[in-house]
């Protein structure tokens, strides 16, 4: 984010919510795609993520990566904190401030 803070309650202009959430999911995949650091919750999350990426969530609703970030922000934060992943935590904080 640049020096000027965008007020998300006025406009989403200039905020790349989709791109930011996509990048966060790439950082997340380092952990949830590794059997040594995944668990049943993250396996289920991967199913939801794959459905979101395909545009099909199985219910007729449209769920995208940003909605998954918003819905599971505490789980994401906990995982990134457990791995001391400052890059992912910083991006998660940015997404929360700009888009959630």
Any idea where the domains of the chain sit in the sequence?
17-99
What does the pLDDT read at residue 53?
80
Give the whole-angstrom CA distance, residue 57 versus residue 59.
Answer: 6
Residue 96 pLDDT class (50, 70, 90 cuts)? very high
- Count CB neighbours of 51 within 10 A: 15
Residue found under tokens 């934060």: 77
- Mean pLDDT is highest, among 3-7, 15-19, 83-87, 95-99, for 83-87
The CA-CA-CA angle for residues 58, 64, 70, to 5°, reads: 115
Residue found under tokens 């998954």: 68
Give the whole-angstrom CA distance, residue 69 versus residue 30.
Answer: 16
Give the whole-angstrom CA distance, residue 2 versus residue 17.
Answer: 15
Given a contact cutoff of 8 angstroms between Cβ atoms, the answer to whether 53 and 45 are in contact is no
Residue 82 pLDDT class (50, 70, 90 cuts)? very high
Residue found under tokens 């970030």: 69
Tell me how far apart the terminal alpha carbons of the chain are, to the nearest angstrom.
16
Share of the chain above pLDDT 90, in %: 60
- pLDDT > 70? residue 58: no
Residue 1 pLDDT class (50, 70, 90 cuts)? very low
Share of the chain above pLDDT 70, in %: 79
Whole-structure pTM value: 0.80
């Amino acid at each position: 984010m640049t020096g000027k803070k965008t007020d998300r309650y006025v406009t989403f202009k200039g905020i790349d919510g989709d791109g930011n959430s996509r990048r966060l999911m790439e950082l997340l995949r380092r952990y949830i795609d590794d059997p040594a650091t995944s668990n049943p919750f993250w396996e289920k999350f991967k199913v939801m993520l794959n459905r979101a990426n395909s545009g099909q969530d199985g219910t007729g609703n449209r769920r995208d990566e940003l909605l998954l970030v918003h819905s599971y922000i505490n789980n994401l934060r906990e995982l990134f904190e457990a791995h001391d992943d400052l890059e992912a935590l910083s991006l998660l904080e940015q997404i929360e401030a700009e888009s959630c």
